[in-house]
Structure 1
Amino acid sequence: MRAVALGGGHGLHATLTALRRITKDVTAVVTVADDGGSSGRLRRELGLLPPGDLRQALAALSAAEDGGTLWAEVFQHRFGGSGALTGHTVGNLLLAGLFEVLGDPVAGLDEASRLLGISGRVLPMSAEPLDIEGEVTGLEPDGTASRIRGQVAVASTPGQVRRITLHATGRPGSRPVACPEAVEAVLSADVVFLGPGSWFTSVLPHLLVPELHDALVRTSATKVVILNLEPQPGETAGFSPERHLDVLFEHAPRLRVDAVIADRDSVPTPASLRRAAAALGGRAHLASVAAPGVGGRHDPDALAGCVRDALGLTECEREGQ
């Protein structure tokens, strides 16, 4: 089964970790708009793709959390101290070096995959860094909408994000250009996943890259949306599970999905979610997929089981349904 997962950060890591339990043919298509932390520093200083989310995807596919290779462990090592390397990870620096030496982020990521012994593939959604702009309400006393720029600013705003736009760095109003390999991966996939993750800064940006959006609409792959376990302050504060789907439709009205996966305990009104999923052409699948005792994290085994059920690969536990 050829699986493609789109997203970024911890949400994409959760999907990839679950998919590793189902198939070895996994491709991650990763957002490239991060402007904070180590990634933001390398992006500003070197003009390269922010490597952090790409590194996280490589780590998820390397099975580092299952006692993988020494390289997989070193790749995730973050420097401490108080010098110039403070906060940087080895993987971020290695990817930056590969991008500069090879002059091609896709070739650099493929080389990193070989180093880590990964059977899948990690691709950027665009070969150039992108900027996110958000339309936010609740920041002005008169209630007018404000525009804020940058992934960190959008993700941490005390206001309510309404919409986002995406453009190439330094070229406001420009159309972002998709990575051709990412477009081809979506078109040739058997199943494509969106979410979980920061909805406005990790999930929705893929729908705002025109070629990638068109590929998601045209692909014959089964399309699955995995919802977050809880709303995120700033980005989706106060959102119901079905509101996440409404926002998805608002940014990509032509997109249709086949399945929506959600944690049973995170859905106050299952009937509302089922209606929202049906409006997008899909069916809601509710199961216990949260990691016990770990707030806001999916359990990879449980999520893999629910994915199998949603795809009709096996019989899933149906307690409480």
Structure 2
Amino acid sequence: MPPAGAAVVALGGGHGLHASLSALRRVVDDLTAVVTVADDGGSSGRLREEFGVLPPGDLRMALAALCGDDEWGQTWADVLQHRFAGHGDMRGHVVGNLLIVSLWEQLGDHVAALDWVGRLLGASGRVLPMALTPLVMTAQIRGVDPAAPDEVTTVRGQVEVATSEGTIQSVALDPPDPAPCPEAVLAVRAADWVVLGPGSWYTSVIPHLLVPDLCRAVVDTRGKVIVVLNLAPQDGETPGFAPADHLAALLEHAPDLRVHTVLADVRSVRDPGSLETAVKEAGARLVLADIAASDGSARHDPVKLAAAYDAVISDD
């Protein structure tokens, strides 16, 4: 097990952060998730537009990931993730999103409401938003129009950024200097380990480095930074990316970031020498491990990933 009392903060969103938290809760006692709040699609987008609140979806998924493996934890995780069917106005809404927004309205406090949901679930950790206002993702994308492959277009909205044709050159947030969640900044600064990735690279991982105060905390933290690479390129965000390209994109948006360890799946890295060179140039160490799901999908296996986290943190 990692050293007693080791504090770990994981930054991200969506399915990638869910996998990371599902693994970390198995080996870490002091765990905090810092979650992106730029989603504008699905149930989250509808609630965001109607009530002017933070999009709750990625926060909900993080809370579900922190539920235990016992009957209580798994029952509440399933309830939290339940999506309504039917043909009316409720179609597509998720129970956990509605619960979170209800508590936000009652308490008027983003963090306190998330803490209450965590208590209900018996969550093994804390979930915090990366900022206190809903954010809009923007991106400079080359080749959105196939007829003009060299033309760079500004695209707005997380869903549009994630699904547009072309190659993402850079991403930004609107507003560009949002108020961070103070508790998130404090958690990062006090952490022993900070985990970035896996996940949608440009819309879930990099956005944390675009919130100036939060990025400064990640750069200045006394903790060691672990970057977990994706298992495969992602259509719409990182098509054609090699593992080293993911690290390069991260450092382009945060040149002062000091990475301690890059963790990658041993079977997903086709050119380990190239990745080793890029990692060394970044001043980090490379750890290759079996962390992929055995079904052949581009998903991380929580149990295997937990073992890899345990080894990285315990052996340092």
Name the TM tier (shorter chain): over 0.9
TM-score norm. by structure 2 comes to 0.95
Q: Describe the shift of the 1:69–1:246 C-alpha distance in structure 2 as closer, same or farther (beyond 3 A).
A: closer
The residue aligned with 1:108 is 113
Alignment of 1:1-321 (within 5 A): 1-63=6-68, 68=73, 70-140=75-145, 141-142=147-148, 143-168=150-175, 174-313=176-315
Alignment match, 1:171: none
Could you give the per-residue CA deviations for residues 3-25 of structure 1, whole angstroms, max 9, x where no partner exists?
A: 10000000000110110111121
- Distance in 2 between the 1:146 and 1:66 partners? 49
Whole-angstrom CA distance in 2 between matches of 1:52 and 1:77: 12
Secondary structure of the 2:161 match is helix
CA contact (8 A) 2:12 2:197 kept: yes
Letter of the structure 1 residue corresponding to residue 144 of structure 2: L
Query: TM-score, structure 1 length as denominator?
Result: 0.93
CA offsets 1:112-134 (integer angstroms, 9 cap, x no match): 11111123100000011101000
Offset from partner CA, 1:227-260 (integer Å, 9 cap, x none): 0011000100000000001111110000010000
Q: Quote the RMSD (CA, aligned, Å).
A: 1.4
State the Cα deviation string for residues 189-239 of structure 1 (Å, max 9, x = none): 111100000000000000000000000111010110000011000100000
In the alignment, what sits opposite 1:317?
Answer: none
Give distance in 1, aligned partners of 2:187 and 2:78: 28
Deviation of residue 77 (structure 1)? 1.3
Check the 8 A contact 2:65/2:77 in 1, yes or no.
Answer: no
Q: Secondary structure at the match of 1:181?
A: helix
Aligned to 2:3: none
Query: Secondary structure in 2 aligned to 1:92?
Result: helix
- CA shift at 1:78, angstroms? 1.1
Distance 2:166 2:221 in 1: 35
Q: 1:283 to 1:66 in 2, by over 3 A?
A: farther
Structure 1 window deviating more from structure 2 (61-70 vs 206-215): it is 61-70
The one-letter code sitting in structure 2 at the alignment partner of 1:251 is H
Q: Is the 8 A contact 2:68 2:122 kept in 1?
A: no
Deviates more, 1:290-299 or 1:178-187: 290-299
Q: Which runs of no fewer than 5 residues in structure 1 stay unpaired?
A: 169-173, 315-321
Q: Work out the CA distance in 1 between the residues paired with 2:69 and 2:312.
A: 27
Percent identity of paired positions between Structure 1 and Structure 2: 55
Over 3 Å counting, the alpha-carbon distance change for 1:217 and 1:139 in structure 2 is: same
Number of residue pairs the alignment of both structures matches? 309
- Contact 1:255/1:280 (<8 A) preserved: no
Q: Is the contact made by 2:68 and 2:124 (CA closer than 8 Å) also made in structure 1?
A: no
Q: 1:275 and 1:65 mapped to 2: Cα distance?
A: 43
| Segment of structure 1 superposing worse, 197-206 or 297-306 | 297-306
Aligned to 1:318: none
Cα distance change, pair 199–69 in 1 and its aligned pair in 2 (3 A): closer
Structure 2 gaps of 5+ residues are 1-5
* Letter of the 1:124 counterpart: P
Question: Could you give the per-residue CA deviations for residues 140-192 of structure 1, whole angstroms, max 9, x where no partner exists?
Answer: 33311000000000111111111000123xxxxx4122111000000011111
Distance in 2 of aligned mates of 1:243 and 1:230: 11
